[in-house]
A and B are shown apart, each in its own frame.
Chain A
């Protein structure tokens, strides 16, 4: 009987990741709102890449269960955005379902998909049909049905994929917002792409080389060093007798003139560099080559690399020295002086240096950069939480696409975490005003959320494609005014849209309007808005701050 063994499973996930990775923009384009918003494709891709990276560390494993567990762990840590969280849950359930297996029959594989789908449904508080959940459910059910008739892997996977496509096409019928925007569900599309990769790997049509994925092109030196050191740790790196004493990292900026004389080949370069030491990692991109090597004579390695261009970001550490320091400190090691934990640690997600500064000024201990266009992963939030020394953590996601990944954090850290489901920056700021360090977490949660709901949130951005809204047509490049998550104004000039949005938002009961302006706002535009507010609403206090956020010209808060 045909079975999926560990290597095949790895190839499937590689192919799935590759397929998604190559179609990120297509998935992003399916976002319902034509705003530069939390990009579903990007989020799913980063999440899945994190899962695959974790798998690659176990690439030698010969049990599917082990790999599926690694995938699940990587996905969970890398989960970004709601679609990423759901994806992580799909494979968490799958991983549990196949944990005991060395190889998978078609039937076991299909049952795993079903278990994944069930886990995802449970993880979502209010599952909505017409989303990736529906696609996953119907596809898994179809897969289970076919696996009872055929034990051929491709039969089952073909059925799963076909059903996923049919379900995806139906999503606009189930979800009116999709129909209005004339798109299918983006998360569902992402899942279809992953399944396409799976099938291609099963049929052998598509083979993705493993090196393409685990080290991302954008990998920076720090990551490179982490990867290299992790590998050396795995290969029993004996620090006692260090042969190559200097951990060396640098970047070569490929110089076209030099490369003309000595053509650059990544493979040859890697081979040549290998002569200078071990723990070698080389990552090349169009014009940069990043190198990590443990060498005894780092100068020689660098001289060699210099024939291709200039060197930059050079970092050399003496590992023998480090080693003895570690031994020393371990010898004297006493438990670190216990400092008193603060009753609360506050973590907020915000975009823009000005906005972050305002959050800090209101008592937030750690601000994670992220928001509309870049949803932080669960892991980033976990790291922020781990760096705080507090008895209880409050997390303010300040974006509807970050709430779910924030909610995963509690499962991954030892300290109790309360997520305040703030959906906008103004809500986050309003919630902080009601925070009281002397109150219990439940009391704080209730008070802070009640304050958050007492504020109106407005955003001004631009359309990334043609669309429509209740008020009419939207053309690409139009300015958009968004009021509590709904497009309520569209127009050709920034000031007109901003004025119209404010006019809608400022009611008779409004006392204070706070404006956070983005990095692309001009002084005269800002002045025009301020003058308008003063003239139109003389009784309202108006406060203006630099937010520095990209893509969003203004955040308005009316309370």
Chain B
């Protein structure tokens, strides 16, 4: 067979220009505010979402794409009969999206083959992997080579994030092992991560944002004694803070290129506004 088509879902939070440049197909999740439903980043932009969130009285909810949504995208990609389909999705510990994709895969298995991968990560953690794989696909790498790239990155990438409040993670049921941090009367900034099972877990705690940021950079350095291969800064409704993180990474790690990605409505509904994250892929020795 010929070229590899990479498919992901909207929670990969890949900036639009990259999506277009690399021809990545995206299946949207849905976000619900009150009685209204939106297709993630399609008929509601992150900016609109965070603005409405401020006025909303209820917590937002989200829902995974149906298997049919996936089937349609898979059929479209398989139309020419020469394409290998590689579908990479949001951690199965956080969402039923991967499950939906697997169902879709079984629904089309008599017609063509789809390879579905659980990224065990979220947001541009998925995005960075998908972008890398899509580049390889564009260069003409085989499906096996693309899968190998994805697997290596899933294993090696690191996620650290700071949330303004744990409320969104808790109420949305995605708090995982960080639940022990809820209920503290002191304002504690937890430094969160996503573990190898794809669940949210606490990495450390600090008083105040400055201390927490310092701790994130310490962890980043610990993880990457040989420097960074790829790195991204993610934000929700706090671009200025993200810019200072990007500048700091460029300075401290001598990186020319730092991805900057805005956390979309679905992930934003669970992390809350004011979240900052770093996704990194340390250089291997």
Q: Please give the residue numbers on chain A whose beta carbons come within 8 Å of chain B beta carbons, in ascending order.
A: 357-358, 361-363, 429-430, 433-434, 437, 511-512, 514, 541, 543, 545, 559
Contact = CB atoms under 8 A, between A and B. Distances in A.
Contacts of B207: 430, 433, 511-512, 514, 559
Nearest to A511: B208
Contacts of B208: 511-512, 541, 559
B190 to A, nearest CB: 10
B211 A361 contact: no
Contact of B210 (A433, A511, A543): A511
**Chain A at the B interface: SS class:** mixed
Contacts of B285: none
Nearest to B214: A511
A362 B184 contact: yes
Contacts of B183: 361
A434 B206 CA distance: 8
A512 B210 CA distance: 9
Given A361-B185, A437-B180, 8 more contacts: A361-B186, A362-B184, A362-B185, A433-B205, A511-B208, A512-B187, A543-B186, A543-B187
B188 interface: yes
Interface in B186-241: 186-188, 205-211
A437 B180 CA distance: 10
A545 B180 contact: no
A559 B205 CA distance: 13
A559 B206 CA distance: 10
A363 B211 CA distance: 21
Interface string B160-196: 0000000000000000000010011111100000000
B211 A358 contact: no
B211 A362 contact: no
Contacts of B186: 358, 361-362, 429, 514, 543, 545
A511 B210 CA distance: 7
Nearest to B185: A361
B129 to A, nearest CB: 28
Contacts of A543: 186-187
A363 B185 CA distance: 11
Contacts of A430: 207
A431 to B, nearest CB: 12
Contacts, number: 40
Contacts of B188: 433
A437 B185 CA distance: 19
Listed residue (A357, A433, A543) with the most chain B CB atoms within 10 angstroms of its CB: A433
B185 A545 contact: yes
A434 B203 CA distance: 10
Contacts of A363: 180
Contacts of B211: 511-512, 559
A358 B208 CA distance: 17
Nearest to A455: B207
A437 B206 CA distance: 17
Contacts of B184: 361-362
Nearest to A433: B205
Nearest to B187: A543
26 contacts: A357-B185, A358-B185, A358-B186, A361-B183, A361-B186, A362-B184, A363-B180, A429-B186, A430-B207, A433-B205, A433-B206, A433-B207, A511-B207, A511-B209, A512-B187, A512-B207, A512-B208, A541-B187, A541-B208, A541-B209, A543-B187, A545-B185, A545-B186, A559-B207, A559-B208, A559-B211
Contacts of B180: 363, 437
A508 to B, nearest CB: 12
A458 to B, nearest CB: 15
A362 B182 CA distance: 9
Contacts of A362: 184-186
Nearest to A539: B210
Listed residue (A357, A429, A541, A559) with the most chain B CB atoms within 10 angstroms of its CB: A541
A433 B203 CA distance: 12
Nearest to A362: B184
A511 B207 CA distance: 8
A69 to B, nearest CB: 45
Chain A to chain B: the 4 pairs with minimum beta-carbon distance, closest first: A511-B208, A512-B208, A361-B185, A512-B207
A434 B191 CA distance: 12
Contacts of B187: 512, 541, 543
A348 to B, nearest CB: 14
Nearest to B184: A361
A328 B27 CA distance: 66
Contacts of A434: 205
A506 to B, nearest CB: 13
B78 to A, nearest CB: 46
A290 B188 CA distance: 49
Nearest to A435: B205
Contacts of A433: 188, 205-207
Nearest to B182: A361
A362 B210 CA distance: 21
Listed residue (B185, B188, B206) with the most chain A CB atoms within 10 angstroms of its CB: B185
Nearest to A510: B208
Listed residue (B186, B205, B208) with the most chain A CB atoms within 10 angstroms of its CB: B186
A65 to B, nearest CB: 51
Contacts of A437: 180
A354 B185 CA distance: 10
Contacts of B206: 433
A434 B210 CA distance: 17
Listed residue (B187, B188, B207) with the most chain A CB atoms within 10 angstroms of its CB: B207
A430 B208 CA distance: 12
A543 B186 CA distance: 8
A442 B187 CA distance: 27
B137 to A, nearest CB: 40
Nearest to B211: A511
Contacts of A541: 187, 208-209
Nearest to B210: A511
B110 to A, nearest CB: 47
Contacts of A545: 185-186
A358 B209 CA distance: 20
A434 B215 CA distance: 12
A430 B211 CA distance: 13
A362 B211 CA distance: 18
A368 B186 CA distance: 20
B142 to A, nearest CB: 41
Nearest to B177: A438
B211 to A, nearest CB: 5
Nearest to B190: A433
Contacts of A357: 185
B213 to A, nearest CB: 10
Listed residue (A358, A429, A511) with the most chain B CB atoms within 10 angstroms of its CB: A511
Contacts of B209: 511, 541
A430 B188 CA distance: 11
Contacts of B205: 433-434
Contacts of A358: 185-186
A36 B177 CA distance: 43
Interface in B236-285: none
A541 B212 CA distance: 13
A437 B177 CA distance: 12
A75 B79 CA distance: 87
Nearest to B206: A433
